[in-house]
Amino acid sequence: MKAFVINNYSKKANLQLAEMPVPEVKESDVLVEVYAAGVNLLDSKIKTGEFKLILPYKFPLILGHDVAGIITKVGKDVKKFKVGDEVYARPEDYRIGTFAEFISIDEKDAALKPKNLSMEEAASIPLVALTAWQVLVERAQIKKGQKVFIQAGSGGVGTIAIQLAKHLGATVATTASAKSFSFLEKLGADLLIDYKNSDFENRLSDYDVVLNSQDNQTLEKSLKILKSGGKLISISGPPTPKFAKEIKVPWFVKIILSLLSSGIRKRANNKNVEYSFLFMKADGKQLSEITALIEAKIIKPTIDKIFTFEQTSEALSYVESGRAKGKVVIKIK
């Protein structure tokens, strides 16, 4: 099969088109013919080696964390799916590789594709929607009437998180450029802050939850707007010792991660704020719950641009540019 691979960590090198073997189908796996794949900043971070301490991949590595396609083969123990089913998924870590013609996925990580979405729309959903779900539902346990600050509202995670937070009954503030304001209001954002000429820490106060997706400076500012007992949940780091324990990294990596996050954890503790790092996980059951919200038209995908399979490297460069509003997708079939 054809696939786009990297052969080493690099900031400058492009993805390489290569012939790779069709993945093995284990007992609980489904083999999916890939129709479309979503592109995420996570793909870039893995390509450059930013996560090599916590995700030490082997090469050649096929990138890609979002898939929509049709099942062509099932393992002998598969019970949820059959050949011909249209599915979508965020494959689990160490089994990524959606920038390819086929991918093998454990059935527990897949869900039936929403009936009201195209393959391209479905491929834009899994990683960002699961991230939003795991932050807002699983960890923050958002309740009606709470105030939530979602950074970078026009980004892939932001566009879904705004819709989910509003569905949960929260008041939502977000940052974006002014040209995105009307679009974000339609998604449900209540308070919009132009990050180019306004400091959110001077506009917001007594918030219950912050979803941080930006740099350490923004993370520090986010502490200022939270009430006592609030939650600061970061998807961009720094990772915590608790996270290191969960993923069972070597002892020296635990020490490194502990040192990286010691400052923010201490300052959060002094303010009686709970700081945590979230690295989203594959979860087909949660994805099925998200499917129900999509089919009820509570959550809608936002696609900025669709690239051809041959343009996969350009698609990743476009995501790295930071210009995308919503998601970037590769149409493979």
Question: Which DSSP string corresponds to 110-168?
Answer: EEEPPTTS-HHHHHTSHHHHHHHHIIIIIIS---TT-EEEESSTTSHHHHHHHHHHHHT
Look up residue 14 and give its two tokens: 């492009």
How wide is the angle at C-alpha 23 spanned by C-alphas 17 and 26, nearest 5°?
A: 165
> Which of the listed CATH numbers 3.30.365.10, 3.40.50.150, 1.10.260.40, 3.90.180.10 matches domain 2-125+301-331?
3.90.180.10
Radius of gyration for the alpha carbons in the chain, expressed in angstroms and rounded: 19
Give start and end residues of each alpha helix (H) in the chain: 41-48, 119-123, 126-133, 156-167, 181-187, 216-224, 241-247, 251-270, 284-295, 312-321
Say which residues have a Cβ less than 8 Å from residue 237's Cβ, sequence separation at least 6.
216, 260, 261, 277
Is the CB of residue 97 less than 8 Å from the CB of residue 46?
Answer: no
- Round to whole Å and give the CA distance between 6 and 14: 8
Q: What's residue 323's pLDDT?
A: 87
Inter-axis angle of helices 156-167 and 126-133, to 10 degrees? 50
Q: How does DSSP assign 263-288, residue by residue?
A: HHHHHHHHTT-EEEE------HHHHH
Is the CB of residue 72 less than 8 Å from the CB of residue 83?
Answer: yes
Q: What's residue 176's pLDDT?
A: 96
pLDDT per residue as tens digits for the range 128-170: 999 999 999 999 999 999 999 999 999 999 999 999 999 999 9
Is the CB of residue 34 less than 8 Å from the CB of residue 45?
Answer: no
How wide is the angle at C-alpha 26 spanned by C-alphas 44 and 99, nearest 5°?
A: 25
- Per CATH, domain 128-277 is 3.40.50.720: yes
Q: The whole model's pTM is what?
A: 0.97
What are the residue ranges in the chain where pLDDT is below 70?
Answer: none
Assess whether the previous peptide bond of 126 is cis (omega < 30° from 0): no
Maximum Cα interatomic distance, the chain, rounded to a whole number of Å: 58
Domain boundaries, the chain: 2-125+301-331, 128-277
Q: What's residue 70's pLDDT?
A: 99
